[in-house]
Amino acid sequence: MTRETWATRIGFILAAVGSAVGLGNIWRFPWVTAENGGSAFLVVYLFIVLAIGVPGLLGEFVIGRRAKRNPVGALESLSGSRAWGYVGGLSVVTAVALLSFYSVVGGWILRYFVESVAAVGTAGGAPFFADPGPYFDGAAFGAQAVAYHLLFLALTAGIVVAGVRRGIELGTKAMMPAIVVLLVALAVWAATRPNAAAGYAFYLRFDLATVRENFFSILGPAAGQALFTLSVGAGTMITYASYLGEDQSLPMDATTIAVLNTFVGVLAGLVVFPLLFAQGIDPASTGTGEGALFVGLAGAFAQLPAGSLIAAAFFGVVTLAALSSSISMLEIPVAVLVDEYDLTRRRATAALFGLIAVTGAVNGLAPAVFGFVAGTLVDLLLTAGLAAFLLFVGWVLGRDALAEFETGAGPLARRFATPWLFAAGVAIPLFLVFTLLTGFGLRAAVGFWPTVALAVVVGVATFAGLRGQKSVV
């Protein structure tokens, strides 16, 4: 079976940006920024994106393009070890966990979009305008939530089953420009609303004192936001890079993706906060969770002229962003079934649709399960996954990885090749191990420096165990 490839470089970049640009940008990023020092937090976030996110993207790109396989096949074939194939299998677990809760949230958004469109031109407006809080509480979980989860999942599967070029690439080529154009239009319109300047001040004030006093507590949210929004740690970028040609500059592509992803996140805040302040809504009252998107903004839309139309445009943007991410999640296990088990893409997609239909339904019916999967489980899986991929690059591929890093790259990128390999194999995994231990509550129990010491011990022990392993390529 001939393996598919991207038709164009811009198709790959837009697909990768689409994977990164999702609910994390439009839903969570503006609130995390505003609550943690505004533009001062943005400086910390950008540093983490450049110091951890871009090297992480590069690590996954190198594995994918070198192996031309999915995460399971790539790690096994490049190492010659079935054990590494099992490590790659973690990406399948992560993808299923991600999509199990993500499709539920995608269903919420799809429902709000459908109801907004249906209400355009009606006297009462969208159904959630009357009382946004109780409406969301009643609609978030239950039979209707499961029904919309299945509809959103069906849209995702419909794009993936069409293949890399005719499905994912074609879909993201249409969705990503639409997302940016609609967000820019909404941001320009929001700037004309009364009290918009107060929204900008709340969002982008440079509060260095907050960052300085709470640096280590801010570091966790910034790192988590960077990993989630850049779509690293799940194997997505290994899978997407496996469809790449040999003439593309991976450092340039990774940097472009990170910049565009951050741009969309900042742009979303320029829509959200002017709208809230224009209607006198305190952003602190909406929180950073689902209430921010489905209660706070819904309340703002209800007070606007042509509110249903504005709501339809906004939730349409968010639906496209959610779809562009969900197709990348589904593509990971689909690629594993196609590459490793010789299933057709249609059968692989159908099998996974059935699996995630069930696991997503459990999330849609049980709020406690949803909270655990969407929070603790996914955070730990993404962190552990990226640490494993980077350790593989640094200690199994070793200097062989530099050949992929430098292909198509300019002299400036080549100058950073060796420092990147050190960061990928040592510095970033240590940081991720520290984050992982913090996620288990160790830092809260024993303190900062003991956790750092344990992270170093765990890291050194892991490195020692990997030193003897050599690449077989």
What is the Cα–Cα distance from 229 to 238, expressed in whole angstroms?
Answer: 16
Q: What angle do CA 323, 232, 222 make, to 5 degrees?
A: 100
What domains are there in the chain, each with its CATH number?
9-466 (1.20.1740)
Q: List Cα–Cα distances, 312 to 23, 133, 318, 388, in angstroms.
A: 16, 18, 10, 41
At 390, list the tokens: 């980077």
pLDDT tens, residue by residue, 273-323: 888 888 777 666 655 455 566 877 787 888 888 889 989 998 998 899 899
Name the CA radius of gyration of the chain, rounded: 22
pTM: 0.88
Q: How many C-beta atoms lie closer than 10 Å to residue 418's C-beta? A: 12
**Burial of 447 per CB tally in 10 Å (0-12, 13-18, 19+):** exposed
Question: Distance between the two ends of the chain, CA-based, in angstroms?
Answer: 23
Inter-residue contact 318 to 23 (CB < 8 Å): yes
pLDDT tens, residue by residue, 414-459: 778 888 888 888 888 888 877 777 656 655 666 666 766 776 676 6
pLDDT at 472: 37
Please, how many CA atoms are within 13 Å of residue 305, restricted to the half-sphere of its CB? 3
Collect the ranges in the chain with pLDDT lower than 50.
288, 468-473
Task: Name the phi and psi angles at 38, rounded to 5.
Answer: 60, -130
206 forms bridges with which residues in the sheet?
38
pLDDT at 155: 97
pLDDT at 470: 47
pLDDT at 466: 56
Task: Name the phi and psi angles at 287, rounded to 5.
Answer: 75, -175
pLDDT at 242: 92
What is the Cα–Cα distance from 376 to 370, expressed in whole angstroms?
Answer: 10
3-state secondary structure labels for all residues of the chain: CCCCCCCCHHHHHHHHHHHHCCHHHHHHHHHHHHHCCEHHHHHHHHHHHHHHHHHHHHHHHHHHHHHCCCHHHHHHHHHCCHHHHHHHHHHHHHHHHHHHHHHHHHHHHHHHHHHHHHHCCCCCCCHHHCCHHHHHHHHCCCHHHHHHHHHHHHHHHHHHHCCHHHHHHHHHHHHHHHHHHHHHHHHHHHHCCCCHHHHHHHHHCECHHHHHHCHHHHHHHHHHHHHHHHCCCCCHHHHHHCCCCCCCCHHHHHHHHHHHHHHHHHHHHHHHHHHHHHCCCCHHHHCCCHHHHHHHHHHHHHCCCCHHHHHHHHHHHHHHHHHHHHHHHHHHHHHHHHHHHCCCHHHHHHHHHHHHHHHHHHHHHCHHHHHHHHHHHHHHHHHHHHHHHHHHHHHHHCCHHHHHHHCCCCHHHHHCHHHHHHHHHHHHHHHHHHHHHHHCCHHHHHCHHHHHHHHHHHHHHHHHHHCCCCCCC
pLDDT at 74: 94
38 forms bridges with which residues in the sheet?
206
Inter-residue contact 333 to 95 (CB < 8 Å): yes
pLDDT at 471: 42
pLDDT at 405: 72
pLDDT at 102: 92
pLDDT at 426: 85
pLDDT at 473: 36
Amino acid at 368: A
pLDDT at 291: 58
